[in-house]
Amino acid sequence: MLTLLDSLPGFRWLYTRYRRFITGGVFLKTQECPVDQIERYKRGANAMQVGGKYYKQLPIEPWDYIAANGLGFFEGNIIKYITRAAKTKNREDLLKAQHYLAKLLEISPIADDQRQIAEIARSIS
């Protein structure tokens, strides 16, 4: 796969810096970063938690579920906020999920048969 991406300008440079960062190379050591944080980066994103601890208590983290099912941005945020609301009992998280759902419905294409029904309903009223 890297051979395909090598043709992109700057990709090799970016990939090299990323690998050095992950493996604790020169790039990471020039950044003032505690050793325990370096070890967490080496273990991957699931080994770290930025912010609340509610995702760590779940059998599967929302981003793992989202990635495994190939969900898009809006669907992923709906899953994230509903999952979080179940743990935190925070109404605001449900409202955020509702907001993302409203936008998803707004941008989702309407099937042809639904369009025809909507046109008929408009013509009747």
Residue 41 burial (CB count, 10 A): 16
Burial class (CB in 10 A: 0-12, 13-18, 19+), 81: buried
List, for the chain, all residue ranges whose pLDDT scores fall below the cut of 70: 1-9, 17-43, 46-54, 111-113, 125
What is the residue extent of each domain of the chain?
A: 1-48, 51-125
- The alpha-carbon radius of gyration of the chain (Å, integer) is 22
The pLDDT value given to residue 79? 93
For the whole prediction, is pTM greater than 0.85? no
The pLDDT value given to residue 121? 75
Strand extents, DSSP E, the chain: none
Structure tokens at 90: 């925070």
Q: How far apart (Å, rounded) are the C-alpha atoms in residues 123 and 18?
A: 58
Residue 72 dihedral angles phi and psi, to the nearest 5° = -85, -175
The pLDDT value given to residue 65? 87
